[in-house]
Amino acid sequence: MEKTPEYKWYVIYTKPRNEKKVAAELLAKGIEHYCPLIKTMRQWSDRKKVIEVPLFNSYLFVFVSEKEFFEVLTVKGVVKYITFERKAVAIPEYQIEAIKQTLLNEVKFKVSTENFKIGQKVEIIKGILSGVMGEIVTISGKKQLLLRIENIGYSLLINISQSDTKIRN
């Protein structure tokens, strides 16, 4: 009996400014991926323009099984998988979904590489991010939801009312 392949989210590191090219190549190969993009205003000497840039420079998420794992490394612009103790690190699906929901619903947030102390674990129970899990932290006297993407050293800080959350064990 054939075993069903197990798919997981992994983080790949790309050459600088190659995230969109790598995403297009992965799409052409039929490999599921996620390249979170944000809109930002850029100014040139003659004009201003809103463009989409990667949320995390040089990082992309791929959803692969063992079958496609090494094929990802053949894509032009891919440098490597993010590893811990020489093993590719899987990202929990809830973190990918939280990033998607945050961007899709245009929730205001800040990206941080700060190493936060572990705080109270909570789940959002109201609003457009209902079901997202994270930690409550206090930054500059304001309580915010911290969504850690530990394996790449980034966090999203989301302004949220504590009444919209419930404590998780």
Q: How open is the CA angle 147-152-158, to the nearest 5 degrees?
A: 20
| Domain edges within the chain | 8-91, 95-167
pLDDT of the residue at 113: 83
Q: Which helix (H) or strand (E) holds 28?
A: helix 19-28
Question: Residue-wise pLDDT tens for the chain (169 aa)?
Answer: 667 889 999 999 999 999 999 999 999 999 999 999 999 998 888 889 999 999 999 999 999 999 999 999 999 999 999 998 899 989 999 899 999 999 998 888 888 887 777 677 888 888 888 888 888 888 777 778 888 888 888 889 888 777 788 777 6
DSSP 48-73: EEEEEEESSTTEEEEEE-HHHHHHHT
Alpha-carbon gap, residue 27 to 72, rounded angstroms: 11
CATH no., domain 8-91 = 3.30.70.940
Residue type, 108: K
Alpha-carbon gap, residue 28 to 151, rounded angstroms: 27
> What tokens appear for 49 in the block?
């323009």
